[in-house]
Amino acid sequence: MRRFPIALSGLVVTLMLGGCLLGPNYSRQPVETPANWRFASGEAADTANTEWWKQFQDPVLDELIETALANNKDVKIAAARIDQFMGQFVTTRAALFPQVSAGATASRQRASQAGPQPLAGFGPVFNDYEVSVSAAWELDVFGRNRRLTESARANLLSSVEGRRATILSLVASVASSYLNLRSLDKQLEIAKATTDSRAESVHVFTLRFEGGEVSQMELAQSQSEYEASLATIPQLETSIAQQEDALSILLGDNPGPILRGHTLGEMATPMIPAGLPSDLLERRPDLLQAEQDLVAANALIGAARALYFPQISLTGLLGTASGQFSSLFTGPSRVWSFAGQVTQPIFTAGNISGQVQSAEAQQRGALLTYQKAIQVAFQEVDDALIASTKLHEQLEIQGRQVTALSTYSRLARARYEGGYTSYIEVLDAERSLFNAQLSLTQTQAAALVSFVTLYKVMGGGWVVAADKLTTQQGAAPSTSSTPQTVQ
């Protein structure tokens, strides 16, 4: 009997060394990438790895982003998902190792004396004490548990990249919201200044109408333009309050007012980050996340195929059992058992083949999702580069337009005062100037937001820098983004 455990352990080693992994091993598929972007992305390659939002040189914006990274609920939810998938990974990996447990029982029983065979050597009432250590181990000969562990690890890495993608979106959203808020502030300032100017014109025209110098039609025209600009003020104030509330939620706070820093005109213009299209495969968290989802789906194929083959498990028990506690740990009380079990599916009515078919379809879907994500990423960067270039061209044009309309408005009023034209020409000039000023402010904000969008879609090492600013509930798992097979 002593030779049995030695022989059994030799069999275990032989089976484990001869074990195999079923299913395809993951390898990154070749991806067709553009050689270059349609619009050059500049020479500032290192800016993609820095805290780019500090290039705006607005301390208030820097503080808002730090607050959001520390308190935003979406980031905390993403961190909790990492802990969830870490637990699933540890649970799945545990199947690769023997499961050992200990137990102890004590009971007092009374046996029937009227039975056909009373227990020999025992009275009707007797005690039973047992102490044992048991172990169970499923030999992963065909790699099912290793494939499941590989899939769980990929899901964990996917959740890590998902958290980084959340951080990327959060920083971009806070910066964009703040820039839009400052744009609305500037538009409100323009609307109030225009309304004050038109209120003064209404006052003057009222006096002149009472003196018989202007007609009632000219007075009504002046009042109409005043009311038109006045109506934009509550609209802008509503948009400002709503933008503040949205930004407050991003900061992890209740809705409320937001501290202001520099005006749009005082903010510095960031540099355009550089990088080749192929860099996106390593820089964008959403692409790395999609790839890890593909790795997880790929590993499930092998786990499903392994169900066709035998499942081999070993169990063992070592302990003592006695009717008296005083003799529980004596030699005659010792008990032990070893057992092996092999289970081979014979007829499953398509259960296993259905699981294999489902896993293969899931893998194909994950592959197509990954490929589509890459194409969308290329499109987003190209669109952002085009928008950044064209918005700055548009900004220069609109700046010249506002200058020209300012001159037009001033000369139109001078001609009206000199009696050379009607007041309609003055109203047209002032209306055009007001609309152009609002449009210029919107374009100015859009041009700055385009830099935010560009840094977001190009990814980069700055996500890691932002990650360090977050306050996590627990330590994030130290894992590499490089796909590996867990052995």
Find where tokens 């997880």 sit. Answer: 296
Please answer whether residues 278 and 33 qualify as being in contact, where contact means their C-beta atoms are separated by less than 8 angstroms.
yes
As beta bridge partners, residue 125 has: 110
Please answer whether residues 387 and 448 qualify as being in contact, where contact means their C-beta atoms are separated by less than 8 angstroms.
no
pTM, 2 dp = 0.82
The arithmetic mean of pLDDT across residues 228-233, rounded, is 93
Q: What is the 3-state secondary structure (H, E, C) of the chain?
A: CCHHHHHHHHHHHHHHHCCCCCCCCCCCCCCCCCCCCCCCCCCEHHHHHCCHHHHHCCHHHHHHHHHHHHHCHHHHHHHHHHHHHHHHHHHHHHHHCCEEEEEEEEEEEECCCCCCCCCCCCCCEEEEEEEEEEEEEEECCCCHHHHHHHHHHHHHHHHHHHHHHHHHHHHHHHHHHHHHHHHHHHHHHHHHHHHHHHHHHHHHHHHHHHCCCCCHHHHHHHHHHHHHHHHHHHHHHHHHHHHHHHHHHHCCCCCCCCCCCCCHHHCCCCCCECCCHHHHHHHCHHHHHHHHHHHHHHHHHHHHHHHHCCEEEEEEEEEEEECCHHHCCCHHHEEEEEEEEEECCCCCCCHHHHHHHHHHHHHHHHHHHHHHHHHHHHHHHHHHHHHHHHHHHHHHHHHHHHHHHHHHHHHHHHHHHCCCCCHHHHHHHHHHHHHHHHHHHHHHHHHHHHHHHHHHHHCCCHHHHHHCCCCCCCCCCCCCCCCCCCC
| pLDDT surpassing 50 at residue 485 | no
C-alpha of 37 from chain center: 26
| pLDDT surpassing 50 at residue 6 | no
Lowest mean pLDDT among 40-44, 163-167, 219-223, 254-258: 40-44
| pLDDT surpassing 50 at residue 483 | no
Distance of alpha carbon 456 from alpha carbon 284, whole angstroms: 9
Distance of alpha carbon 17 from alpha carbon 13, whole angstroms: 6
> What are the tens digits of pLDDT across the range 116-132?
665 555 567 777 778 88
Q: HSE-up of 302 (CA within 13 Å, CB side)?
A: 24
Find where tokens 């009227």 sit. Answer: 114
pLDDT for res 122: 56
Distance of alpha carbon 26 from alpha carbon 292, whole angstroms: 10
Distance of alpha carbon 459 from alpha carbon 461, whole angstroms: 7
Phi and psi angles of residue 103, each rounded to the nearest 5 degrees, phi first: -150, 155
| pLDDT surpassing 70 at residue 4 | no
| pLDDT surpassing 70 at residue 265 | yes
Q: Round the average pLDDT of the chain to a whole number and report it.
A: 84
Please answer whether residues 178 and 111 qualify as being in contact, where contact means their C-beta atoms are separated by less than 8 angstroms.
no
| pLDDT surpassing 90 at residue 420 | no
Q: Which of 400, 408, 414, 442 is nearest to 428 (CA)?
A: 408
pLDDT for res 68: 93
| pLDDT surpassing 90 at residue 402 | yes
Distance of alpha carbon 31 from alpha carbon 52, whole angstroms: 29
pLDDT band at 260, cuts 50/70/90?
very high
The arithmetic mean of pLDDT across residues 348-372, rounded, is 92
Distance of alpha carbon 86 from alpha carbon 196, whole angstroms: 62
pLDDT band at 185, cuts 50/70/90?
very high
The arithmetic mean of pLDDT across residues 343-349, rounded, is 90
pLDDT for res 205: 84
Please answer whether residues 74 and 172 qualify as being in contact, where contact means their C-beta atoms are separated by less than 8 angstroms.
no
> What are the tens digits of pLDDT across the range 62-72?
999 999 999 99
| pLDDT surpassing 70 at residue 267 | yes
Q: Which residue has the higher pLDDT, 90 or 125?
A: 90
pLDDT for res 447: 94
| pLDDT surpassing 70 at residue 400 | yes
Q: Which residue has the higher pLDDT, 385 or 484?
A: 385
Lowest mean pLDDT among 19-33, 114-128, 420-434: 114-128
Distance of alpha carbon 139 from alpha carbon 135, whole angstroms: 13
Ordered structural domains, the chain, with CATH: 20-99+140-312+352-467 (1.20.1600.10)
pLDDT for res 80: 92
pLDDT for res 322: 74
| pLDDT surpassing 70 at residue 9 | no
Please answer whether residues 19 and 140 qualify as being in contact, where contact means their C-beta atoms are separated by less than 8 angstroms.
yes
Query: CB-based contacts of 265: which residues, under 8 Å, 6+ apart?
Result: 444
> What are the tens digits of pLDDT across the range 454-476?
889 888 788 888 888 885 444 44
Distance of alpha carbon 341 from alpha carbon 49, whole angstroms: 56
pLDDT for res 41: 55
For residue 297, give Cα distances in angstroms to 220, 302, 353, 457. 71, 10, 16, 26
Distance of alpha carbon 245 from alpha carbon 256, whole angstroms: 6
Bridge pairing between strands 311-322 and 125-139: antiparallel
Find where tokens 């627990």 sit. Answer: 474
Distance of alpha carbon 342 from alpha carbon 311, whole angstroms: 6
Radius of gyration, alpha carbons of the chain: 37
Q: What percent of the chain has pLDDT over 70?
A: 87
| pLDDT surpassing 90 at residue 176 | yes
Please answer whether residues 200 and 248 qualify as being in contact, where contact means their C-beta atoms are separated by less than 8 angstroms.
no
As beta bridge partners, residue 99 has: 136
pLDDT band at 480, cuts 50/70/90?
very low
| pLDDT surpassing 60 at residue 76 | yes
Please answer whether residues 290 and 95 qualify as being in contact, where contact means their C-beta atoms are separated by less than 8 angstroms.
no
Conformation bin of residue 251: beta by default, left when phi > 0, alpha when psi is -120 to 50:
alpha
Q: What is the spatial order of strands in the sheet that 334-343 belongs to?
A: 99-110, 125-139, 311-322, 334-343
Q: What percent of the chain has pLDDT over 90?
A: 48
| pLDDT surpassing 60 at residue 3 | no
The arithmetic mean of pLDDT across residues 335-360, rounded, is 90
